[in-house]
């Protein structure tokens, strides 16, 4: 039933060329159906789930719930948890039954089970790496077999929600891992509480919930993207510019919340919980992958949890037709592979948007009018701002404290993020050549000059930085 609903929604979107087609996925009768996936892109929820995540599991899963509550390095009472003493793996083997999940169809419960089994799986597989890292500042080897009491139900639940059986950004670690302190209030950072975590540290709480508070603004991003596509299709310049202004304001809100990361999550703490969000693909801790006992004898290799699977920036890339400007190289292949580690409907949205923006020709339509072109440049600048801040995060939270050459998602640490940042900066330079500054208001003239100068300077600095880091990391 569930796949039928998702499939019919996808077919509806694909078969209608009009810009509003995707919004029809949110028809009210579909939206409330308990078997509809939790992650369905919308103009209100954006890329967050359509229902708030279940904070605890029902009583029939009490052993799993108990293990997860006792799991963090520091538990709620302040005492040391199972991961701190290196006892989590033994506790899983001794206490966890192999639950039967065959009869479950409600996606709110299925996704909560997916979140909780992926937490248990990552803690189980990476527990030895965390112990090793505390002493040696290297990760050693992870466990290479996932026991059947986790592997079998995790694989079944994953198949039901269309996910890979491994911790991911949206359906487990970040976007299905919050609850509201006050049910009647919105999703501001101060109204968010965390459900699961590995460390029990305030910095992990902040790291996860800043992502949620940013994505809380993505409904506006989706709304204005849909509006701008429709306006361009109808050749309605006035409305197109209004929608671009709305989109700009949504992106500015997202970037403002992102900047609060520095205050909510301390750079020196990141390495203490980062081990547990690593993947098993392209990682030296899992040279032979991981066998899922009771599922298959073939080893599995999965990318780890990463904000790279968030949909805000890929949506901006696709709408602004930046994706088409990415160089054809192994780093861009990694980007495309990352984009497959997200909820099915997010993938459908991104694929639809890339095609639709190309068909309507958003870039050409924007550049055909100097005022729209300045707005287009300002939107590129928001993507630049996100990626530049993000590159600063990577230097301050990771590179300062670790010589491990691979990020949690499995990408090379020194070159992958700059591949995308450099593309935005290059496209900003190209775009600036299409703007007739004599045809825009003095305020827009000043703005355009400021954005172009900053992009040129940033590109020069980035090239120097990456060359130095590549030498240091031998990449």
- Residue 258 Cα distances to 228, 387, 392, angstroms: 25, 11, 12
Task: Please select the residue that binds ligand HEM; options are 306, 344, 366, 415, rule is CB under 6 A.
Answer: 306
Instruction: State the binding string over 183-222 for ligand HEM (x if CB under 6 A, else -).
Output: ------------------------x--xx--x--------
Q: Residue 129, exposed/middle/buried by CB under 10 A (0-12, 13-18, 19+)?
A: buried
- Residue 190 Cα distances to 257, 264, 327, 378, 448, angstroms: 12, 11, 40, 29, 35
36 sits near ligand HEM (criterion: CB under 6 A):
no
420 vs 432 by CB, closer to ligand HEM: 420
Q: Least separation, in Å, of the C-beta of 268 and ligand HEM?
A: 11
Residue, CB closest to ligand HEM: 307
Residues 79-118 that bind ligand HEM (CB under 6 A): none
265 vs 382 by CB, closer to ligand HEM: 265
Q: Taking Cα atoms as reference points, which of 300, 311, 298 lies closest to residue 338?
A: 311
The tokens describing 72, both together, are: 């963090």
**Using CA atoms, how far apart are residues 159 and 165, in angstroms rounded to an integer?**
8
Size of the site for ligand HEM (CB under 6 A): 28
Residues 363-392 that bind ligand HEM (CB under 6 A): 387, 390
Q: Which stretch binds ligand HEM (CB under 6 A): 23-31, 141-149, 344-352, 414-422?
A: 414-422
Residue carrying structure tokens 């031998």: 474
Task: Please select the residue that binds ligand HEM; options are 339, 348, 397, 444, rule is CB under 6 A.
Answer: 397
326 sits near ligand HEM (criterion: CB under 6 A):
no
- Residue 457 Cα distances to 177, 193, 429, angstroms: 39, 40, 11
Task: Please select the residue that binds ligand HEM; options are 171, 177, 203, 408, rule is CB under 6 A.
Answer: 408
3-state percent breakdown (helix, strand, coil) of the chain, nearest 5: 65, 5, 35
Q: Which stretch binds ligand HEM (CB under 6 A): 3-11, 394-402, 430-438, 455-463?
A: 394-402
Residues 242-261 that bind ligand HEM (CB under 6 A): 258, 261
| Cβ contact 285:141 at 8 Å | yes
The helix or strand, by DSSP H or E, that contains position 163, with its residue range, turns out to be none
416 sits near ligand HEM (criterion: CB under 6 A):
yes
| Cβ contact 408:283 at 8 Å | no
| C-alpha 323 chain-centroid distance | 17
Residues 261-280 that bind ligand HEM (CB under 6 A): 261, 265, 270
Q: Least separation, in Å, of the C-beta of 218 and ligand HEM?
A: 9
Residues 121-180 that bind ligand HEM (CB under 6 A): none
31 vs 189 by CB, closer to ligand HEM: 189
| Cβ contact 88:123 at 8 Å | yes
DSSP state of 52: P
Residues that bind ligand HEM (CB under 6 A): 207, 210-211, 214, 258, 261, 265, 270, 306-308, 310, 312-313, 387, 390, 393-394, 397-398, 407-411, 416-417, 420
């Amino acid at each position: 039933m569930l796949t039928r609903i998702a499939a019919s929604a996808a077919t509806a979107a694909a078969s209608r060329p009009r810009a509003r087609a995707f919004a029809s996925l949110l028809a009210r009768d579909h939206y409330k159906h308990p078997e509809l996936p939790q992650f369905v892109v919308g103009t209100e929820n954006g890329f967050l789930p359509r229902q708030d995540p279940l904070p605890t599991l029902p009583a029939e899963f009490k052993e799993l719930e108990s293990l997860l509550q006792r799991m963090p390095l520091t538990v709620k009472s302040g005492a040391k948890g199972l991961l701190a003493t290196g006892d989590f793996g033994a506790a899983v083997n001794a206490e966890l039954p192999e639950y039967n999940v065959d009869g479950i169809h409600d996606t709110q419960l299925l996704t909560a089970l997916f979140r909780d089994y992926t937490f248990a799986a990552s803690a189980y597989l990476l527990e030895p790496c965390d112990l090793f890292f505390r002493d040696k500042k290297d990760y050693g080897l992870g466990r290479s077999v996932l026991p059947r009491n986790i592997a079998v139900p995790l694989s079944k639940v994953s198949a039901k929600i269309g996910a890979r059986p491994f911790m991911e950004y949206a359906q487990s670690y970040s976007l299905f891992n919050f609850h509201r302190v006050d049910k009647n209030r919105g999703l501001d950072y101060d109204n968010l509480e965390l459900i699961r975590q590995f460390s029990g540290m305030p910095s992990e709480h902040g790291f996860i919930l800043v992502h949620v508070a940013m994505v809380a603004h993505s409904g506006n991003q989706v709304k204005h993207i849909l509006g701008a596509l429709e306006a361009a299709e109808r050749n309605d310049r006035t409305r197109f510019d209004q929608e671009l202004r709305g989109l700009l304001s949504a992106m500015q809100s997202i970037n403002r919340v992102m900047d609060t990361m520095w205050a909510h999550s301390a750079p020196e703490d990141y390495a203490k919980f980062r081990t547990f969000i690593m993947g098993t693909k392209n990682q030296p801790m899992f040279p032979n992958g991981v066998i899922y006992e009771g599922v298959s004898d073939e080893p599995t290799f999965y990318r780890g949890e990463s904000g790279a699977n968030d949909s805000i920036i890929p949506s901006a890339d696709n709408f602004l037709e930046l994706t088409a400007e990415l160089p054809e190289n192994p780093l861009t292949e990694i980007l495309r592979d990352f984009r497959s580690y997200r909820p099915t409907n997010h993938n459908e949205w991104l694929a639809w948007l890339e095609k639709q923006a190309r068909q309507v020709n958003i870039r050409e339509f924007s550049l055909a009018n100097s005022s729209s072109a300045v707005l287009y440049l300002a939107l590129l600048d928001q993507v630049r701002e996100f990626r530049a801040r993000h590159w600063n995060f990577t230097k301050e939270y990771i590179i300062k404290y670790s010589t491990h050459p691979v990020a949690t998602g499995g990408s090379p640490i020194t070159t992958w993020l700059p591949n995308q940042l450099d593309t935005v900066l290059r496209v900003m330079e190209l775009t600036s050549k299409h703007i007739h500054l004599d045809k825009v208001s003095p305020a827009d003239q000043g703005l355009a000059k400021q954005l172009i100068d900053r992009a040129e300077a940033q590109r020069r600095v980035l090239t120097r930085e990456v060359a130095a880091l590549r030498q240091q990391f031998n990449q």
